[in-house]
Amino acid sequence: MTSVAGIIFVNPAAGPDDLSADELRRRFSGHEVVECDPGEVGKRTTDAVRRGVDFVGVAGGDGTIRCAAEQLAGSDVPLLPIPAGTRNHFAKDLGVRELDDAVQAVQGRVVQVDVGEVNDYRFLNNSSIGIYPRIVVRREAHEHRLPKGIANVVAVWEQVRRRGQRFGVDVDGRRHRAWMVFVGNGCYGEGLIDLADRESLSGNELDVRVALADKPAARVRLLLALLVGRLSRSKLLVNMTTPDVCVDVEGTTSVEVALDGEVERLETPLRYRSVAGALSVLVPADRNTAER
């Protein structure tokens, strides 16, 4: 692949202290590097596509990268994910595990990957309703005064103490009493909230899991699994894989929905689908990825 002229957006608050805009300019010589807040990435990406850039790079976590991917999906402009956030599951699943990998990807190859979609919002890793979005909202509230790790523990503990958080949900015509519904972009392995072992990003399938609320001690068991970062397949879960699914929450017209760790309030029902090969991504030429 010949040298390309691209633009790279960097979230100055996302990554390690030594990953500055100046460092990115040095490593990606000849490409434009722009510092911007995550909330500006979507609009700036749209503007960049209109300018005719050859690629859009994003240095940040999964939530920031999602903002750019929403605008790039369906276009012929590839995304360059640069792992620089707290979590970088999408970039790592594509073989871009560190900055050196992203530098190599500029001269690498383009792969097509699926994206998840719910009510016109897109996501790269997963979406969920129930306990997890509430934990995210409370964690963000506590982060104003606490480190992120401690804020997460406090947010989980708040959900352990609270009662009455289960909800009725209809998943493709099947009714459940649940604590959480998880929808993954692509099929995951045994892990759930730790996002381990994604098998593919090109299978045109959603990994749907319902955490049941009608099992003994289900809420405590689920929250402890969330706290330690692993919820293995068990009797707590109903699992299915499908290219699309309709999720309707009883007794409400809108619900908080987590999208790659960011929370939006969406109207119900939630209509999920896998959009096959919707996003072009730059990856290192010699790297095995979740795209196959």
The full DSSP string for 232-284 is: -S-TTEEEEEESEEEEEETT-SEEEEEETTEEEEEESSEEEEEEEEEEEEEE-
d(CA 53, CA 9): 13
Helix (H) or strand (E) holding 183: strand 174-185
Burial status of residue 204 (CB atoms within 10 A of its CB: 0-12, 13-18, 19 or more): middle
- Cβ(106)–Cβ(4) below 8 Å: yes
CA pair distance 102, 56, nearest whole angstrom: 12
Which residue would you say has higher pLDDT here, 102 or 192? 102
Q: Is the pLDDT of residue 157 over 90?
A: no
Query: Which residue matches tokens 């999208």?
Result: 259
Question: Looking at the predicted structure, is the pLDDT value of residue 79 above 70?
Answer: yes
Burial class, 45, CB count within 10 angstroms (exposed 0-12 / middle 13-18 / buried 19+): buried
Q: What pLDDT was estimated at residue 164?
A: 46
Structure confidence at residue 263 (pLDDT): 87
Q: Do domains 7-107 and 123-276 have the same CATH topology?
A: no
Segments making up each domain of the chain, as ranges? 7-107, 123-276
How confident is the model over 78-93, as a mean pLDDT?
Answer: 88
CATH topology for the 7-107 domain: Rossmann fold (3.40.50)
Residues 52-74 pLDDT 10s = 999 999 998 888 999 999 999 99
- Please list, residue by residue across 79-96, b when 16 or more beta carbons sit within 10 angstroms of its beta carbon and e when fewer do: bbbbbbbebbbbbbbbbb
CB 95 within 8 A of CB 120: no
Paired tokens of 142 = 């506590």
Instruction: In whole angstroms, give the CA distance from residue 213 to residue 197.
Output: 26
Per-residue pLDDT tens digits for 226-243: 555 555 445 677 889 999
- Could you confirm whether domain 123-276 is CATH 2.60.200.40? yes
Under 8 Å between Cβ of 128 and 262: no
Look at the alpha carbons of 148, 151, 155, 161 in this order and tell me if their dihedral is positive or negative: positive
State the burial class of residue 271 (Cβ atoms within 10 Å of its Cβ: 0-12, 13-18, 19+).
middle
Token digits for 41? 């990435």
Mean pLDDT score across all residues of the chain: 84
Percent of the chain with pLDDT over 70: 76
Residue range 34-43, pLDDT digits in tens: 999 888 999 9
pLDDT digits (tens, 9 = 90+) for 120-147: 999 999 898 987 766 766 666 676 677 7
Helix (H, G, I), strand (E, B) or coil at 44: helix
Give the pLDDT of residue 214.
78
- C-alpha distances (whole Å) from 290 to each of 47, 125, 201, 269, 287 are 29, 12, 5, 30, 10
Closest CA to 188 of 263, 241, 259: 241
Bridge partners, 81 (sequence order)? 58
Q: Which residue type, as a one-letter code, is found at position 195? A: L
pLDDT exceeds 70 at position 195: no
pLDDT band at 3 (very low <50, low <70, confident <90, very high): very low
Q: In this model, does residue 261 exceed pLDDT 60?
A: yes
Q: Does 266 score more than 70 pLDDT?
A: yes
Record the tokens describing residue 51, joined without a space: 């300018």
